[in-house]
Amino acid sequence: MAKDDLFSSTVTRFNRISTPTNILFSLIFIALALIAVVPLIFVIIISFSSASSIQRIGYSFFPKSWSAEAYKYLWNLRDVIGRSFLVSVGITVVGTLLGLFLNATMGYVLSRRNFVLRNFFTKLIFIPMLFSGGLVSTYLINTQVLKLGNTYWALILPIAVSSFYIIVLRTFFQTTVPDSLIESGKIDGASQFTIFFRIVLPISLPGLATIGLFLSFGYWNSWFPAMLYIQSTHQHMYPLQYVLMSIERNLQFLTQNSQFMIPDEALRRLPTESVRMAIVVIVVIPIALAYPFFQRYFISGLTIGAIKG
Amino acid sequence: MKRKHRFRKEDVELFLLALPTVVWYILFCYLPMFGIIIAFKQFRPTESNFIMSLIKSKFVGFDNFKFLFATPDAGIIFRNTLAYNAVFIVLGIVIPVTLAIMISQLHSQKLAKVCQTAMFLPHFLSWVVVSYFVFAFLSIDKGLINQLLKTMGRNPVEWYMQPQYWPYILTLLHVWKSVGYGMVVYLASISGIDINLYEAALIDGATKWQQVKYITLPMLKPIITIMFILSVGSIFSSDFGLFYNIPRNSGPLINATQTIDVYVYKALMGMNNIGFSSAAAFLQSIFGFITITTANWVVRKIDPNNSLF
């Protein structure tokens, strides 16, 4: 049974753990919560540490001096950062919409018990969960046959569909869309297209929101397709996560690609360490701020999928 | 019940509605599946058309596999993949289940919710981002760990050069990133357990520990089983992001951290060795298929309700 509230009380007043145990457990979980969050805080602090502080005492939670120079430096590189930010936003938006369409249509079709090809299609989406062509085959097909190399489609299409999402949506449609609604649509002479787009979708927003969120986070965090399919000749197509990977070794990638001329001395003085962390902060903050609000959608999606509805 | 093979108008419409997704599966799942025969060929791109090249390339039987296993790499990558996964599977069930049970017992639901939310954060971060977190701790001169070691009077460690620590580091990171997600799945199941069971047990004088042993755990058996099958089924796959990004491609670490996926990628993109790469990928797909169908068969023998198919 999928529940939005994970903590509906399984414990009544008379069936609780003892107070000392509660204190112990509470401390444990506070510690675990801190362990989960502290690395991000550390990185934020580093991004605001001055280069001299890092030089002298290394990375620290308590830098000798603070500075926003990393962010100022990034502002000077805003054309490169901005461009990859736009790439990421673009593929996230397009990918999520396209993915929703592809996953929801199949999910809906599979939820119709009378559909003649239902078993066939179910097997069709199930088999790839068991057996895959492997990276080599997929890579060669995508680049040689489908000619997706160095295109934005290479960043969008390969991860647009997932059998997991389809199953979640199928379960969702089965449980929340009453047959009577669809039947009455048919009686009124509506085609399945009309029924799907005008009747079923509008009332399925929670399910769509759930999968939409899965897709969005997936696209925002994706870097592997870029690593495979976008060559260094097309650096303007790099999404943000992949820029982050590219600068791991050196920041030259950024300075090479920027319109703004960075004089050599500035390069020597540049706050490499804090700049790297500042980019991490820019990449992560949207997610870190957004996910607590969207948690319950993820949770309901996970529980439907994992418990097989 | 045999269906009459009459395609009603509704079926045609549903078919069309699902068609884009079907095309996606053909292009991105099934085409690569056929391409997997490249492992048995000596691929030469003689024709301009990839598929013709593939067909015309010389069939070399198991040669690619023989050569692959003549290298020491083959044994290492299989060992690494299976060993890490075995540990991950066990920890990935024991720890989240334990934590889920514990957190559901906290007196303060508010604290529980806050901690659960915090612990969920790592799941939403990409491994690229996490590799920077790790670097902030393990960097040889500036990292936090080495600084702490120095203040304690011990020598700093060249973390990215010492392979012996990395099984522990990678395992710790994997747990750190996945425990929030696992906890949510099991918490959802726990919150669905009928509270009357606990109250009846309490009346019979059961202790908390007995309640867990005789009610909670048995009720969790279905979901634990499903998660276990899914994990074992993918025992030949690894999280590429974890094993590629975190060790930062450092040479000395390769034997301790390289999994099949990382090897396939490097052989394909770096060494342009399609033979070895495709042979390893093929084995991964075949063995993965065998393990997941076997795992499911085993579970079906024990408890038919819990099997995937």
CA distance A1 to chain B (A): 6
Asked if B253 contacts B136 with a C-beta cutoff of 8 angstroms, the reply is no
Say what the pLDDT of residue B273 is.
85
Q: Are residues A17 and A146 in the same domain?
A: no
Say what the pLDDT of residue A2 is.
37
Q: Note whether B284 contacts A: Cβ–Cβ < 8 A.
A: yes
- Which tokens go with A239? 């999404």
Looking at chain B, the domain(s) classified CATH 1.10.3720.10 span: 71-306
Question: Sorting pLDDT into bands at 50, 70 and 90, what band is B231?
Answer: confident
Q: Note whether B122 contacts A: Cβ–Cβ < 8 A.
A: yes
Query: How does the average pLDDT of chain B come out, rounded?
Result: 89
Cβ contact, residue pair B121, A58, below 8 Å: no
Q: Which of B119, B121, B126 sits opposite A288 (nearest CB)?
A: B121
Taking each helix axis from N to C end, the angle separating B72-103 and B166-190, rounded to the nearest 10 degrees, works out to 40
Within a domain: A252: no
CA angle A64, A69, A74 (to 5 degrees): 145
Q: Which of B17, B116, B129 sits opposite A105 (nearest CB)?
A: B17
Q: Are residues A101 and A215 in the same domain?
A: yes
Q: Are residues A93 and A156 in the same domain?
A: yes
Cβ contact, residue pair B143, A57, below 8 Å: no
Asked if this assembly's ipTM is beyond 0.90, the reply is no
Query: Does the global pTM surpass 0.80?
Result: yes
Q: Are residues A85 and A72 in the same domain?
A: no
Within a domain: A160: yes
Domain-ending residue, one of A181, A209, A229: A229
Within a domain: A138: yes
Q: Note whether B277 contacts A: Cβ–Cβ < 8 A.
A: yes
The residue among B6, B28, B149, B238 with the most chain A CBs within 10 A of its CB, best to mutate, is: B28
Q: Are residues A92 and A224 in the same domain?
A: yes
Tens place of pLDDT per residue across chain A (309 aa): 334 567 765 556 677 888 899 999 999 999 999 999 999 999 999 999 988 888 888 898 998 899 898 898 888 888 888 899 999 999 999 999 999 999 999 999 999 988 999 999 999 999 998 888 889 999 999 998 899 999 999 999 999 999 999 999 998 999 888 888 888 888 888 888 989 998 899 999 989 999 999 999 999 999 999 999 999 889 889 999 998 888 876 666 666 666 665 565 555 556 688 888 999 999 999 899 999 988 888 887 777 765 543
Cβ contact, residue pair B309, A1, below 8 Å: no
> What percent of chain B lies above the pLDDT cut of 90?
52
Which CATH number fits the domain that encloses residue A141? 1.10.3720.10
Number of domains in chain A: 2
Say what the pLDDT of residue B299 is.
74
Highest mean pLDDT out of A31-35, B7-11, B188-192: A31-35
Q: Are residues A130 and A264 in the same domain?
A: no
Q: Are residues A136 and A186 in the same domain?
A: yes
Q: Note whether B106 contacts A: Cβ–Cβ < 8 A.
A: yes
Backbone angles phi, psi at B41, to 5 degrees: -125, 160
Say what the pLDDT of residue B26 is.
95
Say what the pLDDT of residue B45 is.
76
Q: Are residues A92 and A31 in the same domain?
A: no
Neighbours of B160 (CB within 10 A): 22
CA angle B98, B100, B106 (to 5 degrees): 105
A160 closest CA partner among A200, A214, A118, A202: A214
Domain-ending residue, one of A229, A246, A279: A229
Within a domain: A248: no
Say what the pLDDT of residue A166 is.
94
Within a domain: A189: yes
Contacts of B128 in chain A (CB under 8 A): 223, 241-242, 244-245
Fold of the B71-306 domain: MetI-like fold (1.10.3720)
Q: Are residues A104 and A207 in the same domain?
A: yes
The residue among A1, A10, A250 with the most chain B CBs within 10 A of its CB, best to mutate, is: A10
- Which tokens go with B198? 């606990």
Say what the pLDDT of residue B180 is.
93
Q: Are residues A225 and A94 in the same domain?
A: yes
Asked if B263 contacts A113 with a C-beta cutoff of 8 angstroms, the reply is no
Backbone angles phi, psi at A191, to 5 degrees: -80, 165
pLDDT tens-place string over residues B152-171: 988 889 999 999 999 999 99
Across-strand partners of B58? B42
Q: Are residues A97 and A61 in the same domain?
A: no
Contacts of B121 in chain A (CB under 8 A): 36-37, 40, 288, 291
> How many residues can be counted in chain A?
309
Question: How far is the CA of B88 from the CAs of A219, A286, B81, B93, B165, in angstroms?
Answer: 25, 29, 10, 8, 16
Contacts of A200 in chain B (CB under 8 A): none
Per-residue pLDDT at B40 exceeds 70: yes
Within a domain: A2: no
Domain membership of residue A163 as a residue range = 79-229
Within a domain: A249: no
Q: Are residues A102 and A27 in the same domain?
A: no
Q: Note whether B297 contacts A: Cβ–Cβ < 8 A.
A: no
Question: How far is the CA of B53 from the CAs of A308, B42, B62, in angstroms?
Answer: 43, 10, 19
Specify the amino acid at residue A247: I
Say what the pLDDT of residue B59 is.
87
> Rounded to whole angstroms, how far apart are CA atoms B258 and B155?
28
Within a domain: A167: yes
